Amino acid sequence: MAKARDMVDLASSLNAKLIAQEEQREKIRALRPDLPSLTANEPEEAKFIRTSLSQLGLKSAAVTQDMVKDEKQWFEQLAKELGTVLIGSTAREGLMRDRGIVGLDEIWGGWNRARGVGTLSTLLLSLELYLRSASSTFAALIPPETMLLALPHLPMVTHPPISLRTFRSGLRVLHTPEYTDVSFATRLTALIDTFGPRSTVEIATVEKITISLTSEMVESVEEAGDIVRDENPGGEIRWWRNIFHDYTWDGG
């Protein structure tokens, strides 16, 4: 335990020094905008630490329930923390990166790893994990049921808003506005109109998401009546625009 406390103190010290150095650089840039960027003069060790600290998403200690006064605030703070983990300060840092839709199981695992739950091999990442958890590993763990209670707050604290969606199969995902049914259906029908019928694999390639997620999205559009399937003898399904959508038969 003493060693763990020492690592927490060391990690906190490193983080505080990096923050202080950044604040000092900002002050100098404000006073002397004519000077070249000071980022290039940052020591390589500091750059390495800063990059490593940001890779898992959190910028400060992970929030725990004893830090907040009531349950509502607890879930709001968790949603803000998860938003940081999902989006990061740049598209390359967050769990979602340049993806607009990710399975909830992947996000749950990634969030808990970012909070310090799990075993990592390098000293630097271990320091960051201790800094984030600020307590035992189990105190940092977010159970699935707690995550689900925090998710309704997520659209209010993320930009673009990230929302929960449950498919007919039971698969649950978090997604950006680009992956609502309306937005996806618009892209999909435009793709089919331009290039002809597409397979699920071809659609997944264009969307840059997994085939399983693409199947769920495509089947939702099919259920809405915008597209129809054509099953070839070899078993491959190709998707066509439903030209009879909104057609009313007069009985003639």
Band of residue 169 on the pLDDT scale cut at 50, 70, 90: very high
Relative to beta strand 227-231, strand 163-166 is unpaired
For residue 72, is pLDDT > 60?
A: yes
Closest CA to 36 of 45, 25, 51: 25
Query: According to the per-residue pLDDT averaged within each range, which of 58-62, 63-67, 81-85, 160-164 is highest?
Result: 160-164
> How far apart are alpha carbons 241 and 228 in whole angstroms?
6
Portions of the chain given CATH number 1.10.10.10: 180-241
According to CATH, the topology of domain 180-241 is Arc Repressor Mutant, subunit A (1.10.10)
Average pLDDT, the chain: 74
Phi, psi (deg, nearest 5) at residue 238:
-120, 145
Mean pLDDT lowest for which of 61-75, 195-209, 229-243?
Answer: 61-75
pLDDT (0 to 100) of residue 116: 66
pLDDT above 70: percentage of residues in the chain: 57
Mean pLDDT lowest for which of 19-28, 139-148, 184-193, 240-249?
Answer: 19-28
Q: Rounded to the nearest 5 degrees, what angle is found at the Cα of 83, between the Cα atoms of 80 and 88?
A: 125
pLDDT (0 to 100) of residue 250: 56
Concatenating the DSSP letter of every residue in the chain gives -HHHHHHHHHHHHHHHHHHHHHHHHHHHHHH-TTSPPSGGGS-HHHHHHHHHHHHTS-SSPPP-GGGSSSHHHHHHHHHHHHHHHHH-SSTTTSSSTT-SEEEHHHHHHHHHHHTT-S---SHHHHHHHHHHHSS-HHHH---HHHHHHHGGGHHHHSSS--EEEE-TTS-EEEE-GGGSHHHHHHHHHHHHHHH--EEHHHHHHHHTS-HHHHHHHHHHHHHHTSEEEEE-TTS-EEEEE-TTTT------
| Residues 129-156, mean pLDDT to the nearest whole number | 72
pLDDT (0 to 100) of residue 115: 75
Relative to beta strand 237-241, strand 101-103 is unpaired
Residue type at 207 in one-letter notation: E
pLDDT above 90: percentage of residues in the chain: 38
| Residues 63-70, mean pLDDT to the nearest whole number | 59
* Bigger pLDDT: 192 vs 89: 192
For residue 248, is pLDDT > 90?
A: no
For residue 127, is pLDDT > 50?
A: no
pLDDT (0 to 100) of residue 235: 78
> Mind listing the pLDDT tens digit for each residue in 5-48?
444 444 445 555 555 655 666 666 667 666 554 444 545 444 44
State the first-to-last Cα distance of the chain, in angstroms, to the nearest integer. 83
